[in-house]
Structure formats: C-alpha cells, structure tokens
Structure 1
Amino acid sequence: MQSTPAAFSNEDDERKAPTGFHPSLWGNFFLSYQPPTAPKHAYMKERAKVLKEEVRNVVKGSNEVPVILDLVITLQRLGLDSYYKAEIDELLCTVYNTDYNDKDLHLVSLRFYLLRKNGYDVSSDIFQHFKDKEGCFVVDDIKSLLSLYNAAYLRTHGEKVLDEAIVFTSNRLRSELKHLKSPVADEVSLALDTPLFRRVRIIETRNYIPIYESATTRNDAILEFAKLNVNLLQLIYCEELKTITRCNESATVLLPKYMRGFYLYYLKTFDSFEEALCPNKSYLVFYLKELFKMLIKGCSEEIKWRDDHYIPKTIEEHLELSRTTVGAFQIACASFVWMGDFITKETFDCLLTYPELLKSFTTCVRLSNDIASTKREQEGDHYASTIQCYMLQHGTTVHEACIGIKELIEDSWKDMMKEYLTPTNLLPKIVARTVIDFARTGDYMYKQADSFTISHTIKDMISSLYIEPYNI
C-alpha cells in the first residue's frame, strides 16, 4: 500500500475524476455542532421518561378496536411505536382475533393497513363489500377514501380489488383536493405524493406532527413526547455526523484526488466493524467484504458496457447486473450486522444467494434511480440505463419507457409485500421489514430527482431532520 501514491499523478486526477458532482452542501458544518448544556440535556431525557410512561398508560387503557386502531396509527406516524412494541403487538393480536365486520370503510381500511403492515396476511376480499352491483366502490367521505387509498398500497400480485381501489381513490382524491382545507388537504397531498406505507419513518414524523397538533382530538402528552423524541434523536444524529465529518477530514491522501479519503476510510470502516462486534460475531465482516466485492465487480462490468457501447437486449439482462451495482443490497445487508442474534450465519448465507426479497428491493431502487437520473447520465459518458434498454426492447419513446418502468417498480413493491407476509427461519420478518425501510428511503431519494447526486433537492429535509429542533 505504501507505493500507491507514487502510482498516480495530477494527470490521473484530471483524467479519472468523475464529472457532474457538485461539492457537499454541508462541508464541515457539523464539526461546529454544539450540544445543549448537560443540565438541559438531562432535563430533556428525564422529561421524556415521564412522558413515555404517561403514554404507556394510554396504550394499556385502550380496549375498543376503533380506539386501538387510531392510537396505533398515531404512534406509528409520530415515530413513537418502537417504545411500546410489546404492547402494540398484543393490541394488534387482539384486533386480528376479533371478529370485526364493521360497515365503516375507514375503520376496515385502517384495520387492514395496520395488520398487513405488521405482518398479518389478512384477506383483501373484505373490500368487495364496499362495491355496488356494478362493481364500483361506494365511498362518500374523504376520510374513507384516504384510508382505502393507503390500505390498497399494501397489495400483492393478483389482488384485483386493491388495484381497482388505487385507481378509484387516487382519481377521486385528486378531483376533491382543490375543495379541501388544511389539515385534510395536507393529508391528501402527502398521500398522493407518497402513500403512507412508503413514507420514510423519520420524515413522516416531521410531516405529521403539525397535522396531529392541529387535531382537536390530540393527546397533549403524546404530542409533547413526539416533539421531545425528535429533539433527542437530533442530538444523537448530530454527534454522529460530527464524528463522520471528522473522520473524513483526517483521511490520509493515498489515492487520486477524487478518491482521497475514501479508500482508507473504507478499509478502516471494516476494521472498526470487527473491533465493535463481539468476538463470536466478527465473522460477519467477511460477508460485508464479499458484498462489496460483488459491487466492485459489477461496476467494472458496467464500465465495459460503457466502453463497448453495449445495450443489453432485454431489461432482465440489464437487471441481472445493474440491480447489484445500485448499492442498495450492500447497504441493507450492512445494517443486518448490528441486529444481534436475530441475524445468524445461515441468514447471511441465504442473503448472498440473492433471494427474491433482495431482488425485488434492489430492482425497485435501480429502476427508481434510472428514471430520476437518465437524462443527466445520458448527457455524459455513461453506460445505457434500464430506460434505454426498455426502449430498445419494446420500441418505445423515453416517456413510454418511464411509464413501463414505473409499472415494474409497482410489481417490485408487490413482490416485497409477498415476501414480508411469508417470512422464513432464514429470512425472519425483521429482515423483510428492514429491507422495506430501505426501499422507502430509495423511493424518497429518487422521487423528484437523483437526490444522492443533486443533494440540494433535499437540503430543506436535512435541515428539518438534523438542525431545526422543536420549541417545547
């Protein structure tokens, strides 16, 4: 390694440096982060403990199905449900085992949504009861429309009633939106942009707090705890970002300018994993290295595609390679290293076989990435994306190809839901749940643009998550 620097020249820097990437918007911003004083931090944590138990009493006092459903969805959207996992699991088990045939479409939809989201494979046939003789949905109120819309996105393949529900509710909600007032209009706008099931948890919390605060039925203890929880998490995140920035600053110059800091930091990261893991878990780092080898080999193959001006004949051929190079596989699997005894050696052996859960997830992220970045990438020296491949295979325009690709993305979400509802010993529910969390992040990051590359598109979101605390 010591001879590496001499192998590169300034000419290498100019020739090999990637183009089209703007400097970080944040620079050393987080190095100047100053935490609150020790007394203030101690008060925040103590107040959070008090509120946590107050809310626990509310959870334990919930008995009726409508009350349970409303409370659980509220805690989930406010990011508080993880503090009451055992209690919520028990409540949802009660809901599942209760013979509930209510004629209230909102409650039926909410029940379906929460049970499916938590792994119960409940039937979608219940929604047939809300159709007329002609097979059209009969819905009179926005609340029911919105709940049905959100519930329908937890669909799997072959659930025609849910496919129809999405078409029906999305059209109705769009037509009604201009007549609605806040906060209902805010809820509908959020849903039409991203269905509830696909929203990134922490971003949903920031969006939902002001909506919940405006509700006349709000619980003030729950509201205060939600705000305080966001503030406490911000302190943790900012300390972590400060550490990461400092590590990047201290990286030794070993490689060309455009790679400085990365390679050594990459190796040090694996070393730090081995040190942090307990001795009987350090073997997991081997799997991470294998995953990143897969990524590097795939990227090398893509360079050959670019240099040879090769376009795969089918999108399936393209995805066989490109779903492994989007990086989503590696990031998701890296998170499993820290899940303790939930993740075994056998689980990682299974993950390296690229099971359907991982294929559908990485397909979803790859296709979303390509839709968001195809115009920018094709203006430069880049290999053909799945968009160009789809156009060649089906003889379509770019616009038509994007529509077709979006349908494939929806199929991938259906595949993920199917895998989530049928966990195995090798791939327990926590694996599928984590993969879906990463899919939500990918959906958000590529919703409007390639936000990993054009990061100013998410500057306001980053500020709200890490810089702007709530006044309590």
Structure 2
Amino acid sequence: MPDQTLRPLGNFKPSLWGDRFCSFTLDNQLFEKYSKEVEVLKEEVNDMLVVNDAGGYKSAPEKMVLIDALERLGVSYLFEKEIEENLEDMFKNFEDYSHVFHDDLFMVSLHFRVFRQRGYNLSSSVFKKFTNDNGEFKVTISNDVRGMLSLYEATYLRIHGEDILEEAFRFTKAGLESLKPYLSPDLGEHVAHALYQPLHRDVQRIQARYYISFYENDPSRNEKVLRLAKIDFNRLQMLHNEELCHLFRWRKELNIMPHIPYARNRAVECYCFGLACFFEPKYSLARLIHAMSNIVISALDDTYDSYGTYEELKLFTNALMRWDDTDVMDAVDQLPEYMKGFYTGLRKYFDDSREMMSKRGQKSYGVRYLEAAVCLFLFETRNYIVFSNLDTEWHHSGRHSSVQHGMDGDIATPEAFQWLQSNPRMLSAYSIMARISNDIMTSEAERNKGYTMATGVECYMKQHGVSESEAIAELYKKVENTWKDMNEEIIRPTVVSRDLLLRILNLSRQQDVMYKIGDGYNNPELFKDFVLALFVDPIPI
C-alpha cells in the first residue's frame, strides 16, 4: 500500500553520472609511463630549488616565482622539503635581499602571499611604500596590471586589524574591474578568473587544471615545469578515477539507497569534498573515508530535512544517540522499515571505516590525515543530528531558529576531539562559514519546498529588522571574518599540526567554490564542468 504520509519531499535532481565511474580500469602501462617521467622531471626541477642556488635560479625573487608556479600548477607536493627549506631561508633573510625589488609591487605582493600561505607572518607594513600620506594607494600603481593582480591576490591572506589590506582589496578590485575591458584576451580572462575565484579560496585541483592552461600561454613559462604539471595531473586523474570506482562499489555494497530513494545521489560530489581536502596520491585512504562519510552525512541531512516525519525523526535520533548502548536494538525495533535499513547501513559504514582504520599501520602515509577526516565526519554528523532535530522541533512548534545559535559551533564534544582541544577556532570558523554559505544559497529552495521553518537569512532579517539584501550582505561580512580567523590560525606557530589546519582550510575552499556558483550540490549541472575537468577530460600532452 502506498505511503500516504505527508512528507516535506525535496524532489532532488538525479545524478548526472549514473554508474559511469563504476567501470573504470586503471591503465597500468600508461600510469607507469607517467610515473617514470614524473620522477625524471622532478629531479630536474628540484635542481632549480636547492638552497645553494644551483640550476639557474640564483636569486630569491626568481625562486619565489618558481615556488608560486609549482603551487598553482598543483605539483608543489612533490617538493615539500625543498620549498620549506627555501622559504625558511628566504623569510629569515627577507630584510637583506628585499631591497632589490623594494618598489616592485608584483614581487612584494608575491612574497607576502606565498609567505602567508605557508604560515610565515610577513608584516603587511611592506605595502606602506605604495601608499600616500593619507593611507591611500598611489594612483601611479593603478596601471600596473601584473602588480595590481598580485596585490589583489595577497589581500585574501589578510587577518583582523590589517586596515592597509582592506584598503588594498577595495583599491585593486575596483582597479582591475575597470582595466579588464582593455586587456589582451588571455590576461583579461586571467583577471576575470581571479576576480571571480581568488587563488587563496580555490580548490587546489581545480586551480591546477585552470592554471596549467594559463601557464601554457605564458611567455615566461618553464617548459619542464609545464610538462611535469601536465603529466602529473593526468597521472593523479587516473588514481582519482580508480578511487571513485571503489567508492561507487562500496556504496552499492552498503545497500542504503534502496531504503532511502528520496535522498540525493551525489557520490561524485561527495568524493570532490575529500579530493579538495587532500588530493595527494598518498592520502588515498583518507580521501575514500572522507567521501564515504559525506555520502552518509548527505543521507542523514535528507532524512531529517526532506523526508522523515516529526515522530519518525524523534525515534531515529533516539536510536542514534543510543548507538553504543547494549539495548540499542530496542530503539531500532521501533523505527519504520526504511529507517531500519538506513540504520543498518550506518552501522556498516562504521564497521567498514573501522576495518580500514585497523589496516593503517600497513600504509606508508601519515595517519593524522585519516584521523582528521574521520573526526571532521563525527563533528558534522553530530551537527546534523542535533541541528536537524532542533529544526524539526521548531518546525512543529511554530518557533523560528536563531542564526546565532546555529553558528555557535559548540556541538563537538571533548571526547570526540581530544586532540583538537575542544572545538578550536579553526573548526568553528569553518562551521560558521559553511552554514552561512549553505543558508544563503539554499534559502529560496527551502521556501519552495513549503517548509515553514525560517531560513537562516529570514532569521537574520527578523532579528535585526533588515531587508533580505541587507541580511545577506551582513552574513557575508561574517563569512569574511571567519576567513580572517582561519588565516590567523595557519600562521606559525600553530596550536596543532599545521597540516591538519590546512585540511580544514581546504574544506572551506570547497564550500566557497561549491556555493559560489549557486547551490552546486542540489543542482549538479552547476558543478558539471568541474567534474569533467577533474575526472573525465585528461590534459592534452
């Protein structure tokens, strides 16, 4: 008999990819060919980076340009030790050698950005020489497109209280917008890309794919570096496709989709979050577990937000909160059939993750990244369980949720995050940024569902008595503040492993990309070009 229950159905769009990635087979011969050439080119490029200035890159400024190219092209992970040695030495001696480019806006901005990206706290006072007595940037630099673009990108590393970078952002953004129509096609497109998606907030693999195309047309390009970037991108693309294939097969074995046909089918997009977090080949297991967790989180979200009734969700939440109790099956027995199947799948997810984790001692890469992925999952899962249950309570009681309550970030328990020391600022900033971005981009869809609970934007409007456009503008200001929080947290010395903090930063970048184009998760067509670039279309060699 058909289910006659009135449910807040999401009517989500189907996946664009079906089972496309299930049948991928790695071409071992081609992969080995690529890997061998990568090793040869890696040695040749490495000679350009040695601290004793061998290989033709004799000056620190030239090395900084090379390091920046390697990072943008997505191959800096091959030279981590060499890059660190160079930057440590260059930062220590910056005052001694920076006089050679003291009035070069491009070079000063490049050093500032790369140092800050790597956690070296170069003072923003280095830009004072480009301002007048009133603290305004000199008009004479406005036609220096290369310098203006470099300064613009540097402003995204600003932290709280850096007024000079706030002014630099306004000045360069307006200046580049006005210059854009008069630039050559290649440079104009490059400026437009930066204005839309600044480097510091871009997903590394997406940035690499874009920048390889741009760098190929750069007259100053290094051919060996370019070839290394192309071959390595295609090599990693093959590995990432193999992982996608494993993920699709695992999801089929998990067997939750037949029980929850209302849920979004977004396995590819879920994998993209893991890929954004850590793309390097040695973190394959961490990527897979992160992608698996995203699939489960998405299903939880859809169950709470777009299918379950109030009474069903109370029962389901009770069963989840009694996860480790000996009498948990008593709670499970009270669930409707579809929830029983889902609950069984959740337990299988944890069993599979535990089994994969137990084998980590046999892996050659750092366990800390895998642990980061799992802990982030636990944080987000508890967010969904608690927030969604509260949302349901508010919906049925006629109350409105508080935006500030939803952004407090006090959900993570000390037990779950002992090594993160009870909800650190970095994780809280990510949570706030992700929640606001999601609220803004999904508010219209939520209203169209007929769901009566106020969206985050509507809550802000009611609390502060402002219009929708004013509310969105203020919420985006909060997002900007969270980016400053994260920028401060990655400056050395850090309270925890900087590598972990960068993974959280990478998740924030994925959120920025996903929701800048609209609601890229609910509307997979918006994210289609990224998927094609990352997994389907190799770079012509």
Q: Which band: TM-score by shorter chain?
A: 0.7 to 0.9
Using the TM superposition, name which of 267-276 and 248-257 deviates more: 248-257
Q: What corresponds to 2:201 in structure 1? A: 198
Q: What SS does structure 1 have at the residue aligned with 2:430?
A: helix
Tell me the TM-score normalised to structure 1 length.
Answer: 0.86
| AA partner of residue 3 (structure 2) | E
Distance 2:86 2:259 in 1: 56
Distance 1:455 1:237 in 2: 19
- Aligned residues of 2:518 and 2:526 also touching (Cα < 8 A): yes
- Aligned residues of 1:78 and 1:204 also touching (Cα < 8 A): yes
What RMSD in Å do the two structures reach over aligned CA positions? 2.7
TM-superposed CA distance for 1:347, in Å, is 9.4
Q: What corresponds to 1:79 in structure 2? A: 74
- Aligned residues of 1:72 and 1:88 also touching (Cα < 8 A): yes
Q: What corresponds to 2:180 in structure 1? A: 177
TM-superposed CA distance for 1:255, in Å, is 3.7
Using the TM superposition, name which of 206-215 and 250-259 deviates more: 250-259
TM-superposed CA distance for 1:143, in Å, is 0.6
TM-superposed CA distance for 1:423, in Å, is 4.5
Pairing 1:11–2:3 present? yes
Q: What corresponds to 1:237 in structure 2? A: 240
Pairing 1:317–2:405 present? yes
Distance 1:440 1:109 in 2: 21
Using the TM superposition, name which of 402-411 and 92-101 deviates more: 92-101
Using the TM superposition, name which of 349-358 and 428-437 deviates more: 349-358
Q: What corresponds to 2:491 in structure 1? A: 421
Pairing 1:58–2:58 present? no
Please show how residues 56-455 of structure 1 align to structure 2 within 5 Å.
56-60=46-50, 61=54, 62-98=57-93, 99=95, 100-101=98-99, 102-138=102-138, 139=141, 140-252=143-255, 255-258=259-262, 263-278=343-358, 292-312=381-401, 315-320=403-408, 348-351=417-420, 353-382=422-451, 383-421=453-491, 423-425=493-495, 427-455=496-524
After superposition, give the CA deviation of every residue in 1:119-142 in whole Å (9 maximum; x if it has no partner): 012211111111123332121300
Distance 2:230 2:376 in 1: 38
Q: What SS does structure 1 have at the residue aligned with 2:407?
A: helix
Q: What SS does structure 2 have at the residue aligned with 1:59?
A: coil
Tell me the TM-score normalised to structure 2 length.
Answer: 0.76
- Aligned residues of 2:417 and 2:423 also touching (Cα < 8 A): no
Distance 1:290 1:47 in 2: 41
Q: What corresponds to 2:304 in structure 1? A: none
After superposition, give the CA deviation of every residue in 1:242-263 in whole Å (9 maximum; x if it has no partner): 1111222334367454367854
CA 112–380 in structure 1, closer or farther in 2 if over 3 Å, else same: same
Distance 2:151 2:522 in 1: 35
Distance 2:195 2:58 in 1: 32
Q: What corresponds to 2:533 in structure 1? A: 464
TM-superposed CA distance for 1:83, in Å, is 0.6
TM-superposed CA distance for 1:16, in Å, is 4.5
Using the TM superposition, name which of 286-295 and 460-469 deviates more: 286-295
Distance 1:190 1:351 in 2: 35
Distance 2:183 2:200 in 1: 23
| AA partner of residue 299 (structure 1) | S
Q: What SS does structure 1 have at the residue aligned with 2:185?
A: coil
Q: What SS does structure 2 have at the residue aligned with 1:421?
A: coil
CA 184–306 in structure 1, closer or farther in 2 if over 3 Å, else same: same
- Aligned residues of 1:248 and 1:265 also touching (Cα < 8 A): no
CA 252–273 in structure 1, closer or farther in 2 if over 3 Å, else same: closer
Distance 1:304 1:90 in 2: 55
- Aligned residues of 1:318 and 1:389 also touching (Cα < 8 A): no
| AA partner of residue 137 (structure 1) | F
| AA partner of residue 357 (structure 2) | L
Distance 2:9 2:58 in 1: 59
Q: What SS does structure 1 have at the residue aligned with 2:136?
A: coil
Q: Identity, % of aligned pairs?
A: 30
TM-superposed CA distance for 1:18, in Å, is 3.2
- Aligned residues of 2:11 and 2:262 also touching (Cα < 8 A): no
CA 414–174 in structure 1, closer or farther in 2 if over 3 Å, else same: same
CA 375–258 in structure 1, closer or farther in 2 if over 3 Å, else same: closer
After superposition, give the CA deviation of every residue in 1:159-184 in whole Å (9 maximum; x if it has no partner): 10000000000000000001111321
After superposition, give the CA deviation of every residue in 1:20-58 in whole Å (9 maximum; x if it has no partner): 31111111011232433x332321221221112121122
TM-superposed CA distance for 1:17, in Å, is 7.0
Q: What corresponds to 2:38 in structure 1? A: 48
Distance 1:294 1:41 in 2: 41
After superposition, give the CA deviation of every residue in 1:203-256 in whole Å (9 maximum; x if it has no partner): 000110111000111111111111111111111111111111122233436745
- Aligned residues of 1:105 and 1:144 also touching (Cα < 8 A): yes
Q: Which runs of 5+ in 1 are unaligned?
A: 1-8, 331-344
After superposition, give the CA deviation of every residue in 1:257-305 in whole Å (9 maximum; x if it has no partner): 4367854443323222222224888996799657634431221111112
- Aligned residues of 2:387 and 2:406 also touching (Cα < 8 A): no
In the alignment of these two chains, the number of paired residues is 441
TM-superposed CA distance for 1:66, in Å, is 1.2
- Aligned residues of 1:33 and 1:238 also touching (Cα < 8 A): yes
Q: Which runs of 5+ in 2 are unaligned?
A: 264-337, 362-366
